[in-house]
Amino acid sequence: MHVLEVKNLVKTFNGLRAVDDVSFIIPEGSVFGLIGRNGAGKTTTIRMMMNIYLPDSGEVLLQGAKAGQDFKDKVGYLPEERGLYKKMKVLETLLFFAELKGKTGKSVEKKALEYLERFQLADRKNSKLEDLSKGNQQKVQFIITILHDPEFIILDEPFTGLDPINTNLLKEIILELKKQGKVIIFSTHLMDFAERMCDHITMIDKGKLILNGSLSDIKSRYEQRNVSINYLGDVSFLKSNPMIEKIVEYGNSSSIKVREPQQVQQLLKILVDNNIIVTKFAVNEISLQEIFVELAGNNNINVNSAEVKNV
């Protein structure tokens, strides 16, 4: 069952279509990745989902009904552009933002203190936010996102500007929330990360939806048929094999392309059966990044590998 549905959203700024007829479905209990490069329209889409922007046309449905304030109350949103009142105290800040979500009283305060304890901020509960380190401010920001026990968690580029420790912390929280059955929606330009964390993907480019579906479906659709091998022996017999589409020999290494993805295993068997000593057999699994390049027809994607490494 899908809990959240985005239907034909369109948003135009100064004649530029920032989001152009985007539709997707977010299934229950999924970790959903909204991916695309910077400026593709991810944040605009999320802002329309959050009812921060009104769409020019299209709608967002929560369990079949138009999403409004009731949706806002159920969401924990960590915007890409995030900040806090510097002069407010930590606990005061947490309680204020929980109050805006309609959660007040002792139980929230208790929960806030528990989170502070867990994030090693318990002793700073009465410090002003401006006196906290940047990393600790980020922790407070996470707590705000999840303190009111939301059913949906929307994280817009959650890892930009996070230090490695907080990146791990956030990852831990995401996994934990996933186990609790919450719907988690990410927007990110980090394809590697999306590939590792998400089970559903929607890719947008220049405001348009270019790919949509579960990660396993997408992967099988774009499954790789390229194999590179290092070996000792003669592999010329492969040229006449019907399952081989293409083979390029470089002496004791070859690059082979099979006709169907499932033929990769057969290829390995044939090699062994023909007494070839295989020293390396690598199936080049296609990455989300490559799929994206193939679809968007542009390899200028800003993927900073150092950024990904920490994830």
Partner 1 sequence: MFNKRTLSIIKRELREKVLSRSFIFMTLLIPVIMFGSLGLQMVLINYDSNSNASLQVTCESSQLAVAVGSEFAKLPQVIDGNFKITYNFMLENDFEKMLPLLKKDLLNGKLTGVLFIPNSALIDKKINYYSKNPNNALLFNKFRSLINSALINLHFSEKQLSEKEISYAGKGVDFNGFRISNDKNIKAEGIGNQVVSFLFTFLLYISLLLSGTMMMRSVVLEKNNKIVEVLLSSVNSKELMTGKIVGTSITGVAQMAVWLLPLIMVISSSLFVLPKDFTIDISLSQVAFVLFNFLIGLITFLGLFATVGAIFDNDQDAQSGIWPIMLLVMIPFFIGITLVNNPENTIGIIASMMPFASIIVMPARMTLVDIPFWQFALAVFVNLATLIIIFPLAGKIYRVGILMSGKKPKWSEVIRWLKYKY
Interface ranges with partner 1 (CB under 8 A): 47, 50-54, 56, 69, 72-73, 75, 77, 79, 81-88, 96-97, 99-102, 141, 144
Is residue 18 helix, strand or coil? strand
Q: Which is nearer to partner 1, 144 or 267 (CB)?
A: 144
Q: Provide, rounded to whole angstroms, the least separation between the CB of residue 183 and partner 1.
A: 15
For partner 1, which is the closer residue by CB, 148 or 219?
A: 148
Structure tokens belonging to residue 280: 């390396």
- Beta-carbon contacts of 193 under 8 Å, excluding residues fewer than 6 positions away, are 159, 308, 311
Which CB atom, from 60 or from 288, has the smaller least distance to partner 1?
60
CA-nearest of 286, 237, 207, 261 to 20 is: 207
Shortest distance, position 268 Cβ to partner 1, whole Å: 51
CB of 178 to partner 1, least distance (A): 21
Instruction: Pick between residue 152 and residue 292 the one whose CB is nearest to partner 1.
Output: 152
Given the complex with partner 1, which of 15 and 242 has the nearer CB atom? Answer: 15
Residue 58: left if φ>0, alpha if ψ -120 to 50, beta else—which one? left
Q: Which of 66, 70, 118, 67 is CA-nearest to residue 94?
A: 118
Cα–Cα distance, 145 to 98 (Å, whole number): 9
User: Cβ closer to partner 1: 77 or 119?
Assistant: 77
Output 47 or 189, the one with its CB closest to partner 1: 47
CB of 77 to partner 1, least distance (A): 4
CB of 124 to partner 1, least distance (A): 19
Q: Which helix (H) or strand (E) holds 175?
A: helix 164-179
CB of 56 to partner 1, least distance (A): 6
Termini Cα distance of the chain: 30
Output the smallest distance, CB 81 to partner 1, in A: 4
- Going by C-alpha positions, the residue among 62, 28, 30 that lies closest to residue 215 is 30
Q: In the chain, at which residue ranges do the beta strands (DSSP E only) sit? A: 2-13, 16-27, 31-35, 57-62, 65-66, 75-78, 152-156, 183-188, 200-205, 208-214, 226-232, 244-249, 253-258, 277-283
Phi-psi region of 57 (alpha: psi -120 to 50; beta: other; left: phi over 0): beta
Give residue for tokens 């094999």: 241
Closest CA to 49 of 130, 155, 121: 155
Least Å distance, CB 41 to partner 1, is 15
- CB nearer to partner 1: pick between 77 and 292: 77
